[in-house]
Structure formats: C-alpha cells, structure tokens
A and B are shown apart, each in its own frame.
Chain A
Amino acid sequence: GNSVTQMEGPVTLSEEAFLTINCTYTATGYPSLFWYVQYPGEGLQLLLKATKADDKGSNKGFEATYRKETTSFHLEKGSVQVSDSAVYFCALSFKNRDDKIIFGKGTRLHILP
C-alpha cells in the first residue's frame, strides 16, 4: 500500500546550521508530495508541495525536490532559526474522489540559540 517514512526525531541543531529531514515514500502511481509544519499548540500548516517528478517546492527558506528515481522528498534549509522549532510531517496524496492524505509520523525539530 501507499506509505510515507520519515526520519525519527527529535532532531536538535544549533541556530544557523544546515537542516535535512529525510522522507521516502511508497506509492502506486504518481502522488503529490507535501511537507506540513506544526508549531506548538497549533494545527498543521502546509509548508510546501510538489506535484510531479523533479518539481521543487520552496517556502520560508525550506526546499524539497520530488525525486521519483529514489522515491524521496527530503526537506532542507540552509540556515535554521530558533523559530523553526516545530514538528514536520511529510505526506502524499493522489487526485481521486476523496483527496485523502497519507502522513508520515512526524519529525520534531529543536533549534538551540
């Protein structure tokens, strides 16, 4: 079946460090891929998305490239800030009748000042 696997956290980095959060997927067909972010006490917010192979999604300094050959969608940021501390979810969906999204289990990121 379809699934998303992302690296377990927590991930702890110092401010201005380079960030990578790995995400791989298993899917039949060609899903759209998403990264969502959840700040403490809030719901999930869409961070970025990519809808086809080789697409790069970007937002707020974060980037992720849809790699069909490696079935991956790794999240990267060149210089993290304390305000990036949150839980990050990788997800996929297919265009179909119900638009359901399959989420990874989330990766907690903690940035030290």
Chain B
Amino acid sequence: DAGITQSPRHKVTETGTPVTLRCHQTENHRYMYWYRQDPGHGLRLIHYSYGVKDTDKGEVSDGYSVSRSKTEDFLLTLESATSSQTSVYFCAISMGGQTPNQPQHFGDGTRLSIL
C-alpha cells in the first residue's frame, strides 16, 4: 500500500453545509491530487498540489477549495455543499518532479452524499 489515508470514508450531509475531506500520506511525496468519480465520467481532477502551499485547479474546480500546509496533508473543502457534489472522492499522490512519468497511487476514497 502507498500509505494514503482518506477521512472520513463516508459522509452524509445537507445542502449548504461546509464539508472538509482529508488526505494524509506517509510517503513524503511531493504531488497530491483530488479527483471525483461519477458514473459515465470516469475520474475528473478537481485540484492538485505540487508542494506545500502550492496548489492549482483541475478541470472541475468550481465549488471546491484546497489547502496544503504540510507535505503529508491535503484538504479538500466544499464551502457550501450542493447535491451535484454527491460523488466518490479520491486522493492520489505521486513522486513527480525529477522522476519521469511516475504512476499515481490512490487512497480508498470518500463516499459523500449531499441531501
């Protein structure tokens, strides 16, 4: 296993509430990613980080923010959750940088339901 822990694993909440998902890694990898997985869409990148306090947007970043204050933690926040954000969220890490074309390693996902 790649040493990635996502928390919580499951969450049910109401529309309009803030939600924060946490990704914790023990590999000291520089790059971290948040994806959402929905039927018919595969995996879509929300945000990613290439170092502490260095983050950038992916293809579906609207309604999401991220923070990375430590190498090991990457937080995804839904400031005001909407039903369209019901999904399974995956965190991934990679070595990146000098080592070319390294695969990403994934956590087990967080199933989020917005009612």
- Where the two chains meet, the residues of A that have a C-beta atom closer than 8 Å to any C-beta of B are 32, 34, 36, 41-46, 49, 51, 89, 93-95, 97-101, 103-106
Contacts and interface: CB of A to CB of B under 8 A. Distances in A.
B109 A43 contact: yes
Contacts of B45: 100
A100 B48 contact: yes
Interface residues of B, number: 27
Contacts of B31: 98-99
B103 A105 contact: no
B40 A99 contact: no
Contact of B101 (A41, A44, A95, A104): A95
Contacts of B43: 44, 89, 103, 106
B41 A105 contact: yes
B50 interface: yes
Contacts of A104: 42
Contact of B107 (A36, A43, A93, A99): A43
Interface of B: 4, 31, 33, 40-43, 45, 48, 50, 56, 58, 90, 92, 94, 96-97, 100-109
A93 to B, nearest CB: 6
Given A43-B108, A100-B48, A103-B43, 15 more contacts: A32-B101, A42-B109, A43-B4, A44-B43, A44-B90, A46-B104, A95-B101, A98-B56, A98-B96, A99-B31, A99-B94, A99-B102, A100-B58, A101-B104, A105-B41
Given A49-B103, A89-B42, A98 B90 contact: no
B106 A45 contact: yes
A42 B90 contact: no
Nearest to B90: A43
A34 B92 CA distance: 15
